[in-house]
C-alpha cells in the first residue's frame, strides 16, 4: 500500500493544477487507464455542450447555404474547429482515434462541396451537411456514452447512427464512403465497448473473489498468529518456570555447599567448647566436693580456680571463633536489597568470600592465596553477588585441583587506568579446548549428577556482565590449570 501523501501518487493526481502545455500533453498522450470515471463523465458533459453548438452552427449553415452565401464555408470551418476542440477534450484513446477519423472525413466532405461544386446542387450539399453533422453528433455521443454509460447507451446511439443514414434517400458516391465508415465504426465500437465491459465485469468478479479469498486468508492468518502467540506464551512461561526451578536448584546446591562449610566451621569450635565445658563441670564438682575438706588446701583451691580459668578461656576462645565466622557470613550477606547497586571496596569482600570456602579448600587439599595489588579496589555493584562469583569460581578451581590431588589457587587483583582485573588461577586438570566455548552455556556441566547444576558459570558471567558491567574470560591448558579473568570497569560517579 502506498501512503496517500507519497510523491509517486501526487505526480499522477489529476487535481494538481498544471501548466497549459502540460495539460495539452496530458490530453494528447496520457493513457486512458490513469483517468478517473468522474472525469470521463465531466468530459462527456462538455462534449455534449460542444456538439449542441455544432448542431446550431450546422443549422444556420444550412440556411446560409440555401442563400448560396459564403457564410457556409465560414460555418463549416468553425464546425471543424469545434470538432477539433472536442477531440482535444476527449481523453479516451479509442474515442480520440475515432473522433480524429470523423474530423478528417468531415473535412473531406466539406472540401468536396467546394472542389466539385458542379456535381452538387445546393440541396444535396445541404442535405449532406445536415446528415453528416447529425452523424458527427451521434458518433460523438456514442463514443462518450460508450466511455461513460456502458453498453446500453452505446447500443441505442449506435442503432440511431445506423438508422439515420438509411432513412436518407439521396445516396451519392461521396456519401457512401462515410456511411460505410460510420456503420463499420459503430460495429467496431460496440465490440470494443462490450469487450471493455466484459473485461471490467471479469475484473470486478476476480477482484470480488480475490477479496473474499484475501479476507479468508487474513482471518486464517489472524487465527494462526493468535494460536502461535498462545503457544509461544505457553513456551515462554514454561521456559521461565524451568529457569526459575533451575535457579532455585542452583541456589539449593550453593546453599548445600555453604551449609557444609558453615557446619564444619562452627561444629569444630562448638565441640571444643562443649568438651571444655564438660571439664568446667568436672572442676566445679571437684571444687564443691572439696569445700570444708581439711585435706584440701587453699593452694589446691587456687589451682582448681586457675584450671577453671584456663578451660573457660579455651571455651571462650572457641566461641569467639564461631562468633567471628558468623560475623564474616553476616558481612557477606548483609541486608542489601537485590537491585541496589553501590560502590564498595572489593578487597574485604573477596577475603570474606574465601573464608566461606575454607572448608571446601581443606577438603580438596587446596591452598588459596589472595594477592591484592592495592588496599582498595572500588567496584560498583552488589557485594554479595561478587562474593557469589568468587565462591563459584574458587569452588570450580578446588574441584579441578582435587582431580590432581589438590594444589594452590591464586587470586590476583590488579588495576590499571582502564579497569580492575581479578585473576583466579588453579593448577588443576584444565578445560579441554573443545568444551571451552561451552562452559558459560546454561546447563552445561561436566560434573556428575548432583554435583553440578550447569548454572554456576552462567550465573557468574551474568553477574559480572549485568551487575558490574564487566566481562569474564577463560584460558586453560589441559593438565596445566585454568585461569578465569574478570574485568571490571572503574566506577565513574554520575553527577546529579
Partner 1 sequence: MTRKTNTAGPSGYTILLADDNPDYLAATSLLLGRQGHTVLTAGNGTDALSILKNQKVDLLLIDYYMPGMTGEEIVLKLRQVNPLTQIILQTGYAGEQPPHELVYRLDIQGYYDKSEGPEKLLMSVEKCLKGTLK
CB 312 within 8 A of CB 272: no
Question: What is the nearest approach in angstroms of partner 1 to the Cβ of residue 271?
Answer: 4
Among 228, 245, 282, 330, interactor with partner 1 by CB under 8 A: 282
Tell me the number of residues near partner 1 by CB under 8 A. 42
For the chain, first and last CA: distance in Å? 49
**Cβ distance to partner 1 smaller for residue 279 or 462:** 279
| Residue 170 found at the interface with partner 1 (CB under 8 A) | no
Question: What is the nearest approach in angstroms of partner 1 to the Cβ of residue 350?
Answer: 21
- Residue-by-residue DSSP string for 386-448: HHHHHHHHHHHHHHHHHTTT-EEEEEEEEE-SSEEEEEEEE-SS---GGGGGGTTSTT---SP
**Cβ distance to partner 1 smaller for residue 276 or 349:** 276
Question: What is the nearest approach in angstroms of partner 1 to the Cβ of residue 248?
Answer: 20
Q: Which three cell numbers stand for residue 191?
A: 465490440
Report the C-alpha gap between 192 and 189 in whole angstroms: 5
| Residue 451 found at the interface with partner 1 (CB under 8 A) | no
Among 5, 33, 292, 295, interactor with partner 1 by CB under 8 A: 295
Q: Three-class SS of residue 474? A: strand
| Residue 274 found at the interface with partner 1 (CB under 8 A) | yes
**Cβ distance to partner 1 smaller for residue 250 or 265:** 265
Q: Which stretch binds partner 1 (CB under 8 A): 142-150, 292-300, 331-339, 348-356?
A: 292-300
| Residue 284 found at the interface with partner 1 (CB under 8 A) | no
Nearest residue to 109 (alpha-carbon basis) of 58, 168, 178, 172: 178
Among 38, 259, 343, 477, interactor with partner 1 by CB under 8 A: 259
Please list the alpha-helical segments (H only) found in 90-172.
Answer: 93-115, 122-148, 151-167
Question: What is the nearest approach in angstroms of partner 1 to the Cβ of residue 362?
Answer: 4
Report the C-alpha gap between 290 and 296 in whole angstroms: 6
Q: Which stretch binds partner 1 (CB under 8 A): 80-88, 299-307, 416-424, 474-482?
A: 299-307
**Cβ distance to partner 1 smaller for residue 101 or 266:** 266
Report the C-alpha gap between 375 and 384 in whole angstroms: 19
**Cβ distance to partner 1 smaller for residue 125 or 360:** 360
The distance from CA 384 to its chain's CA centroid, rounded to whole angstroms, is 38
**Cβ distance to partner 1 smaller for residue 285 or 330:** 285
Among 61, 165, 178, 269, interactor with partner 1 by CB under 8 A: 269
Determine phi and psi for 171, rounding to 5 degrees: -95, 130
**Cβ distance to partner 1 smaller for residue 286 or 462:** 286
Question: What is the nearest approach in angstroms of partner 1 to the Cβ of residue 380?
Answer: 36
**Sign of the CA dihedral with 260 first, then 264, 266, and 270 last:** positive
Cell 565513574 -> residue = 492
**Cβ distance to partner 1 smaller for residue 254 or 476:** 254
Q: Which stretch binds partner 1 (CB under 8 A): 95-103, 263-271, 373-381, 384-392?
A: 263-271
How are beta strands 407-415 and 366-372 bridged, if at all? parallel
Instruction: Tell me which residues in 346-365 interact with partner 1 (CB under 8 A).
Output: 359, 362-363, 365
Contact mark string toward partner 1, 313..342, x via CB under 8 A: -xx-xx--x---------------------
Among 60, 124, 155, 268, interactor with partner 1 by CB under 8 A: 268
**Cβ distance to partner 1 smaller for residue 286 or 421:** 286
Among 222, 227, 244, 303, interactor with partner 1 by CB under 8 A: 303
| Distances 18 to 39, 84, 152, 338 between C-alpha atoms, Å | 16, 22, 35, 69
Strand order in the sheet with 481-489: 366-372, 407-415, 419-426, 481-489, 471-477
The distance from CA 458 to its chain's CA centroid, rounded to whole angstroms, is 28
Question: What is the nearest approach in angstroms of partner 1 to the Cβ of residue 313?
Answer: 10
Cell 571490571 -> residue = 488
CB 96 within 8 A of CB 189: no
Partners of residue 485 on adjacent β-strands: 423, 473
The distance from CA 150 to its chain's CA centroid, rounded to whole angstroms, is 48
Binding residues for partner 1, rule: CB under 8 A, are 259-260, 263-276, 278-279, 282, 285-286, 289-290, 293, 295-297, 299-300, 303-304, 311, 314-315, 317-318, 321, 359, 362-363, 365, 367
Amino acid at each position: 500500500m502506498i501512503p496517500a501523501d507519497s510523491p509517486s501518487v501526487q505526480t499522477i493526481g489529476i487535481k494538481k493544477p498544471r501548466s497549459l502545455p502540460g495539460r495539452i500533453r496530458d490530453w494528447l498522450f496520457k493513457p486512458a487507464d490513469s483517468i478517473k470515471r468522474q472525469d470521463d463523465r465531466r468530459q462527456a458533459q462538455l462534449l455534449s455542450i460542444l456538439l449542441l453548438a455544432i448542431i446550431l452552427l450546422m443549422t444556420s449553415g444550412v440556411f446560409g447555404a440555401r442563400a448560396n452565401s459564403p457564410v457556409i464555408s465560414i460555418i463549416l470551418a468553425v464546425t471543424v474547429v469545434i470538432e477539433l476542440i472536442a477531440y482535444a477534450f476527449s481523453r479516451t484513446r479509442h474515442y480520440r482515434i475515432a473522433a480524429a477519423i470523423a474530423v478528417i472525413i468531415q473535412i473531406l466532405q466539406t472540401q468536396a462541396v467546394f472542389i466539385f461544386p458542379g456535381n452538387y446542387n445546393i440541396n444535396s450539399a445541404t442535405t449532406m451537411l445536415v446528415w453528416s453533422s447529425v452523424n458527427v453528433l451521434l458518433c460523438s455521443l456514442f463514443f462518450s456514452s460508450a466511455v461513460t454509460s456502458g453498453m446500453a447507451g452505446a447500443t441505442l446511439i449506435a442503432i440511431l447512427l445506423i438508422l439515420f443514414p438509411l432513412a436518407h434517400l439521396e445516396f451519392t458516391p461521396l456519401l457512401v464512403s462515410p456511411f460505410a465508415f460510420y456503420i463499420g465504426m459503430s460495429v467496431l465500437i460496440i465490440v470494443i465497448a462490450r469487450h471493455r465491459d466484459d473485461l471490467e465485469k471479469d475484473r470486478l468478479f476476480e477482484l470480488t473473489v480475490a477479496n473474499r479469498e484475501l479476507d479468508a486468508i487474513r482471518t486464517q492468518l489472524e487465527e494462526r498468529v493468535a494460536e502461535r502467540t498462545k503457544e509461544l506464551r505457553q513456551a515462554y512461561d514454561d521456559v521461565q518456570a524451568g529457569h526459575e526451578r533451575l535457579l532455585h536448584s542452583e541456589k539449593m546446591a550453593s546453599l548445600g555447599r555453604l551449609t557444609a562449610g558453615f557446619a564444619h566451621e562452627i561444629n569444630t569450635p562448638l565441640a571444643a567448647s562443649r568438651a571444655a565445658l564438660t571439664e568446667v563441670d568436672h572442676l566445679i564438682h571437684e571444687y564443691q566436693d572439696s569445700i570444708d575438706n581439711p585435706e584440701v588446701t587453699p593452694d589446691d583451691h587456687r589451682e582448681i580456680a586457675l584450671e577453671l580459668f584456663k578451660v573457660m578461656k579455651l571455651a571462650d576462645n572457641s566461641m569467639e571463633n564461631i562468633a567471628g565466622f558468623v560475623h564474616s557470613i553476616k558481612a557477606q550477606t548483609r541486608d542489601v536489597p537485590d537491585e541496589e547497586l553501590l560502590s564498595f571496596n572489593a578487597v574485604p569482600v573477596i577475603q570474606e568470600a574465601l573464608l566461606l570456602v575454607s572448608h571446601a579448600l581443606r577438603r580438596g587439599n587446596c591452598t588459596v592465596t589472595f594477592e591484592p595489588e592495592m588496599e582498595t579496589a572500588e567496584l560498583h555493584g552488589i557485594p554479595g553477588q561478587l562474593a557469589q562469583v568468587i565462591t563459584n569460581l574458587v569452588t570450580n578451581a578446588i574441584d579441578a585441583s582435587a582431580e590432581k590431588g589438590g594444589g594452590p589457587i591464586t587470586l590476583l587483583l590488579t588495576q590499571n587506568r582502564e579497569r580492575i582485573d581479578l585473576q583466579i588461577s588453579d593448577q588443576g586438570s584444565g578445560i579441554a579446548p573443545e568444551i571451552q566455548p561451552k562452559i558459560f552455556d546454561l546447563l552445561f556441566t561436566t560434573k556428575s549428577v548432583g554435583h553440578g547444576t550447569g548454572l554456576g558459570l552462567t550465573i557468574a558471567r551474568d553477574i559480572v556482565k549485568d551487575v558490574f558491567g564487566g566481562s569474564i574470560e577463560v584460558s586453560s591448558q589441559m593438565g596445566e590449570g585454568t585461569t578465569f579473568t574478570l574485568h571490571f570497569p572503574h566506577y565513574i560517579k554520575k553527577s546529579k
